[in-house]
């Protein structure tokens, strides 16, 4: 038995698979030579097989660029400090870049507010003099609590799960989002009472 005939279907290249099929159908002899008048059709079939293989490779390369290499299953948590580090009626921006959230103490609750605008995903800015978040992209405004009150944003900003660690620090769990429109801001995991 010839060595190439011991290859499994999985180890054959697309061209080799095409040649095998053409031999089975009688278009090629056992030496791989075209059979008479069928030569043109054989050449055409092999050209198509080569083209398909090249196209498949191109798609694979392109998809590596198009599909982000992000592990969405990775859950991030942040220890942000004790509740006493967040004075009443303040927005802490220490984690705006590294964690993509603000720590807000609105006088009644401490919560971790997502920095993702609920319109099209830009990052709003905290305007302490106006006590509101303002999105630079299309002008949406949000209160300190994250409520949308101006511009096109359709909903409140989201909140992340918060809890207290054994050492008394607040832990923000980015693996769990809370949505106001689902009534989830009443869930005690979405805030720490002060
Ligand atoms: S993305 Fe924020 S207002 Fe459009």
89 Cβ neighbours under 8 A, 6+ residues apart: 105, 106, 107, 144
User: Distance, CA 162 to ligand 1 centroid (Å)?
Assistant: 26
User: Distance, CA 132 to ligand 1 centroid (Å)?
Assistant: 14
**Residue 1 confidence (pLDDT):** 46
User: Distance, CA 130 to ligand 1 centroid (Å)?
Assistant: 18
- Average pLDDT of 65-87? 76
For the chain, what percent of residues have pLDDT higher than 90? 61
60-64, 129-133, 143-147: segment of lowest average pLDDT: 60-64
pLDDT range class, residue 78, cuts 50, 70, 90: very high
What is d(CA 160, CA 111) in angstroms, rounded to the nearest whole number? 7
Predicted TM-score of the model (pTM): 0.64
173 pLDDT above the threshold of 70 = yes
Q: Where are the alpha helices (DSSP H) in 8-149?
A: 14-24, 39-66
Report the nearest atom of ligand 1 relative to the CA of 124: 2
Contact 76, 98 (CB under 8 A): no
pLDDT range class, residue 43, cuts 50, 70, 90: low
Sheet holding 148-150, edge to edge: 125-127, 132-134, 141-142, 148-150
Number of helices (H), then strands (E), belonging to the chain: the values are 2, 11
Q: Is 58 in the pocket of ligand 1 (CB under 6 A)?
A: no
Q: Is 137 in the pocket of ligand 1 (CB under 6 A)?
A: yes
**Residue 67 confidence (pLDDT):** 52
What is d(CA 141, CA 156) in angstroms, rounded to the nearest whole number? 10
Domain ranges of the chain: 3-66, 77-193
What is d(CA 2, CA 167) in angstroms, rounded to the nearest whole number? 71
Q: Where are the alpha helices (DSSP H) in 26-170?
A: 39-66
CATH superfamily placement of domain 77-193: Rieske [2Fe-2S] iron-sulphur domain (2.102.10.10)
**Residue 11 confidence (pLDDT):** 72
Q: Is 113 in the pocket of ligand 1 (CB under 6 A)?
A: no
Report the nearest atom of ligand 1 relative to the CA of 153: 3
**Residue 61 confidence (pLDDT):** 58
Between 31 and 185, the higher pLDDT residue: 185
Tokens 């791989």 sit on residue: 32
Q: Give the residue among 79, 78, 102, 80 at the shortest CA–CA distance from 91.
A: 102
6-10, 38-42, 114-118, 139-143: segment of lowest average pLDDT: 6-10
- Average pLDDT of 97-126? 98
What does DSSP assign to residue 130?
Answer: T
């Amino acid at each position: 038995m010839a060595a190439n005939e011991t290859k499994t279907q999985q180890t054959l290249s697309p061209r080799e698979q095409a040649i095998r099929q053409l031999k089975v159908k009688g278009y090629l002899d056992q030496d791989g030579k075209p059979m008479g008048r069928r030569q043109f059709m054989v050449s055409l079939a092999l050209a198509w097989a080569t083209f398909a293989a090249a196209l498949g490779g191109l798609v694979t390369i392109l998809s590596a660029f198009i599909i982000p290499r992000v592990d969405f299953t990775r859950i991030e948590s942040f220890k942000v400090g004790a509740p006493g580090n967040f004075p009443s009626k303040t927005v802490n921006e220490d984690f705006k870049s590294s964690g993509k959230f603000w720590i807000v103490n609105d006088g009644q609750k401490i919560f971790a507010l997502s920095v993702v605008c609920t319109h099209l995903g830009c990052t709003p800015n905290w305007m302490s003099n106006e006590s509101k978040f303002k999105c630079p992209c299309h002008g949406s405004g949000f209160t300190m609590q994250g409520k949308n009150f101006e511009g096109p944003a359709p909903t409140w900003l989201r909140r992340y799960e918060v809890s207290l660690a054994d050492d008394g620090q607040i832990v923000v769990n980015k693996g769990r989002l809370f949505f106001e429109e689902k009534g989830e801001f009443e869930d005690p995991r979405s805030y720490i009472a002060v």
